[in-house]
Amino acid sequence: MESTCTSSSDEEEKDQIQNQEHQTRARQRRPALRVKKAVLNPRRESEGDQPVSDRFNYELSSRDLSPVEQVREYFCEYKDEMVEDLERIYQEMSSKMVDLADVATKNLSSSAFVQGSRSIVHRTAVAAEKSAKTASEVPAKIITAVKGWKLHPFEKLPNWMRDNEFLTLGHRPELNSFTECFKSVFRIHTETGNIWTHFIGFIAFVVLTVLFYYKPLCEYCNADIDISEKLIFLYFFVSAILCLGLSTLFHTVTCHSEHVSKIFSKLDYVGIALLTVGSFVPWIYYGFYCQLTPKIVYLTIISLLGIGTIITTMMDRFNKPEFRQLRATLFVCLGLFGLFPTVHLILRSGWEMALVEGEVYKLLLMAGLYISGAVLYGLRIPERFLPGKFDLWFQSHQIFHVLVIAAALVHYHGMTNMAVHRLKMAGECDIIEEAQAIQIE
Ligand SMILES: [Zn+2]
């Protein structure tokens, strides 16, 4: 008897300890639950003795959290405990029902009663398990339901999202969801223009590539020569499509999180470096069509410079807002390398001939468009002069995007003219070289 009493009191003591622990945990959780509920329903603020904002201060980090973030935080924090509680209830119910069944077996020895009890236990267990699983899915469902985010002013953005203080309103908050980021493409905010300018450019270049390889280069061009000579343009098309595609992706998912934003901003810069190098390849190929050595030298140098630029853009420091002007300067310098082969071409063929062979006017126009885009981007013009007036449309970054597409199209037009000029004179390299040798003598 003594041992039974001891064991029973032990059990009671254990139960008491468990209950106390459970209540303590519930008490610890309760203020947080009230806080989150009150935030979700601002009208309840007046119901408490103390202002909600005061009660919440201890919970908030260095920045204000949006309702979505608060709900997400709450469920992320307590999801496991909710499931744990339900599982514990299930365990307790199961063990009590098993005890009941055992007692029934001992006392009544009735197989029908035992079977019935076991069946009840089994059904209860299945129902409890189902409830626990459903409960674990509830946080995700609630998060999805309340995910209608609002636009944030610049000051409310976390530090890592603060890129351009002259855009004062209309920013997306940190969304932490790729689905939400992609859905935001169809809403109006500071990045909408950036996303769509390069997405339209991306589609345009895909169509242009298909048309370029589908149609003959010119009316008089031999189809056989055509395809092999056209392949060099792939460097340009692939780099343009990659640049515009990566840029569209970056501007779409940059609000996901700091980590994702960093990765895609690096890819965005890689795309710009690729487009610059890719633009040089067909131009050098046709500009120095009959001169193998300068062709190889210039293509090697621009490739090495492009690789150097990509390595630099991979550094985390390069991505910070204070390096905006350095970034713009680096890409302009990469583009300005084009001065060397252009001067070489003019010295070799003379100004008049260089205009035809190198499409120098188009080259200068392209450089002008790229450089003015980079200057506007670096100095953040026009929003610098009228902060808050270009939050959604006509901000420097959008103008820069449009100028990049315009420059790429001008360059494409110039290069096709160069190719047509060369293809009409195909097979005449020896004659040209001889004539140039005579000129030099
Ligand atoms: Zn951009």
- Write the DSSP string, 152-221: B-GGGS-GGG---TT--S-B------HHHHHHGGGS-STTHHHHHHHHHHHHHHHHHHHHHHHS-SSTT-
Positive/negative CA dihedral, 393, 399, 404, 409 = positive
Q: What is the pLDDT of residue 122?
A: 76
Q: What is the pLDDT of residue 138?
A: 57
* Secondary structure class of 388 (helix, strand, coil): coil
> Residue 43 has which token pair?
């009208």
Q: What is the pLDDT of residue 56?
A: 40
DSSP conformation letters of 64-84: PPPHHHHHHHHHHHHHHHHHH
The rounded Å distance from CA 397 to ligand 1 centre is 6
Q: With a cut of 70, list the residues of the chain below it in pLDDT.
A: 1-79, 82-83, 86, 90, 97, 100-101, 103-114, 117, 121, 128, 131-147, 222-225, 425-428, 430-441
**Residue 321, amino acid:** P
| DSSP secondary structure letter of residue 34 | H
The rounded Å distance from CA 147 to ligand 1 centre is 26
pTM (predicted TM-score): 0.65
The rounded Å distance from CA 272 to ligand 1 centre is 9
**CA 412/CA 365 separation, integer angstroms:** 12
Q: What is the pLDDT of residue 357?
A: 80
Q: What is the pLDDT of residue 230?
A: 87
The rounded Å distance from CA 199 to ligand 1 centre is 11
Q: What is the pLDDT of residue 24?
A: 55
The rounded Å distance from CA 288 to ligand 1 centre is 33
Q: What is the pLDDT of residue 7?
A: 42
The rounded Å distance from CA 400 to ligand 1 centre is 8
Of residues 298, 300, 251, 301, the one with CA closest to residue 271: 251
- Residues whose beta carbons lie less than 5 angstroms from ion ligand 1: 247
The rounded Å distance from CA 213 to ligand 1 centre is 28
The rounded Å distance from CA 374 to ligand 1 centre is 11
> Do 175 and 232 meet the contact criterion of CB atoms below 8 Å apart?
no
CATH topology of domain 161-440: Rhopdopsin 7-helix transmembrane proteins (1.20.1070)
Domain ranges of the chain: 12-145, 161-440
**CA 311/CA 330 separation, integer angstroms:** 12
